[in-house]
Amino acid sequence: MRKADVIIIGGSAAGATAAITARRHYPEKEVFVVRQEKQVSIPCGIPYIFGTLGSASKNIIPDAMLEKEGVKIAVETVKALDVLRQTINTTEGVITYERLILATGSLPGRLPVPGFDKDGAFPILKDIAHLEALQKRLQSASNVVVIGCGFIGIEFADEIRKLADKKVTVLEIAPYCLSLAYDEEFCVEMQTLVRSRGIDIRTHAKVAEIQGNGRVESVRLSDGTAISADVVIFGVGAIPNVEIAKAAGIKLGPTGAIAVDRAMKTSNENIFACGDCAEKISFFGGRPSPLRLASIATLEARIAGANLYSIRREHDGTVGVWSTAVGGLAMATAGLTETAAKQNGYDCVAVVVEGPNRHPGGMPGGAPTKLKLVFEKNTGVLLGGQVRGNESAGEIINTVSACIQKRMLAEDIATFQMGTHPALTASPIAYPLVNAAEIAISQMRKTRA
């Protein structure tokens, strides 16, 4: 029987980060990552395998990151967890632990429609062999249908469209692409751009069946329309991978993920969970949150890894920060959109400012940038923000996220001390964050008068 002080089950974003964090906080402890994959894909980079990168082998989390920190890696499959004996049973035998972190991730969602399992229908598994099989199949495909027009759907569609002679159709049941992530005006901009790149986006499209005699031939919609397809890709979300935890009697939360407290501890005092398999609680009101992002997973992993033997960190709740980019157009969100804020019962003020991200706007790297901030009307607390622009949108939204997490008021942001430079930022006279906050303050004063 093998022994380890700390075992992490799962080696993707959450597992790798938890292992590194555990070693840094408890250098005297032996840390063991047990995973079933010989090589682990970078989750957010998977769409780019098919166009920009060109190969699954170019999208790998390097083991050197773990080895440098003294983390040991075992490539084997966990069959069972015994919480009483504090052991895991794998394909290679039994390992005992003092502390355990479950970072088992998620499984791709599938539409409950006839034909979802036909040859040529591909869920998005984080598995190198599966992704290579999809890449090989795409080489001979003429018609590709992507079901779901969220981040994964858009990014897959655009990358596949870069391949020669591919007709790509994206099906979305909602009125707009990305409708769960952005307010309508942002969705429309991205949808228009994606269509201009030769991708057929069909909204209000409900899939009824994947058709074909054993092999995918077409997708039939609920209105009877049939769309030719050699390959169908499902981009319809993910479900937490909790089978090991469930079988071991570990408590699950309201969304079906592993229940955890603010320290990422499960119902068992020696077991923690992080990443897609762990329950999420919203930063806004403490409700269960369905968000599953690599950025959330790594945050939770840094909390879990630090707390193994002594509680050092707590989770304030999931803010939700994400971005996407297609053809030079980048969009990003942090916290609540205006739509989501209203749906959650907030009385809010939303402000939009637009201008160049350089000063003057003709400086190299300059691009028109749009920032939308949402504030709670009575308190002035920042609830969320959205950005549209070029690649600088990714870091702008990280600043917005920091303001949200510190519960900054419009007044705080209006007096924010920023650093500016003509070649790097917008003008200090009309700096977007400050400008939007000042306008919001003016609007809030009017409504109170």
Longest Cα separation, the chain: 73
Burial of 328 from C-beta contacts in 10 A (0-12 / 13-18 / 19+): exposed
CATH class label, 110-236: alpha beta
CATH, domain 321-448, list 3.30.479.10, 3.40.710.10, 3.50.50.60, 3.40.640.10: 3.50.50.60
> Would you say 435 and 359 are in contact if contact means Cβ atoms under 8 Å apart?
no
**If DSSP codes are grouped into helix, strand and coil, which group holds residue 47?**
helix
Number of other residues whose CB lies within 10 A of the CB of residue 129: 12
The CATH code of domain 2-106+239-306 reads 3.50.50.60
Domain ranges of the chain: 2-106+239-306, 110-236, 321-448
Bridge partners (DSSP) of residue 354 are: 370
Q: Which residue has the tokens 């955890």?
A: 260
pLDDT at res. 110: 82
pLDDT in single tens digits along all 449 residues of the chain: 899 999 999 999 999 999 999 999 999 999 999 999 999 999 999 999 999 999 999 999 999 999 999 999 999 999 999 999 999 999 999 999 999 999 999 999 888 999 999 999 999 999 999 999 999 999 999 999 999 999 999 999 999 999 988 999 999 999 999 999 999 999 999 999 999 999 999 999 999 999 999 999 999 999 999 999 999 999 998 999 999 999 999 999 999 999 999 999 999 999 999 999 999 999 999 999 999 999 999 999 999 999 999 999 999 999 999 999 999 999 999 999 999 999 999 999 999 999 999 999 999 989 999 999 999 999 999 999 999 999 999 999 999 999 999 999 999 999 999 999 999 999 999 999 999 999 999 999 887 76
* Backbone φ, ψ for residue 13 (5° rounding): -55, -50
Q: Compute the half-sphere exposure of residue 177: CA atoms within 13 Å on the CB side of its CA.
A: 30
Q: Are strands 87-90 and 78-82 parallel, antiparallel or unpaired?
A: antiparallel
pTM metric for this prediction = 0.95
Q: What pLDDT, on a 0 to 100 scale, did the predictor assign at position 1?
A: 85
Distance CA 449, CA 439 (A): 16
Q: How far is the C-alpha of 190 from the C-alpha of 172, rounded, in Å?
A: 14
What's the helix, strand, coil split of the chain in %, to 5? Answer: 30, 30, 45
Could you tell me which residues are beta bridge partners of residue 278?
A: 258
Same fold yes or no, 2-106+239-306 and 321-448: yes
Contact predicate 26/37, CB 8 Å:
no
Output the CA torsion 187→191→192→197 (10° steps): 150
What pLDDT shows up at residue 446?
83
Give the pair of three-digit tokens for residue 306.
Answer: 């630090």
Note the pLDDT of residue 449.
62
Tokens 């007709």 belong to: 167
pLDDT of residue 365: 86
Determine contact, residues 303/313, Cβ cutoff 8 Å: yes
Which residues sit opposite 202 in a β-bridge?
171
Q: Which of 52, 5, 56 is nearest to 31 (CA)?
A: 5
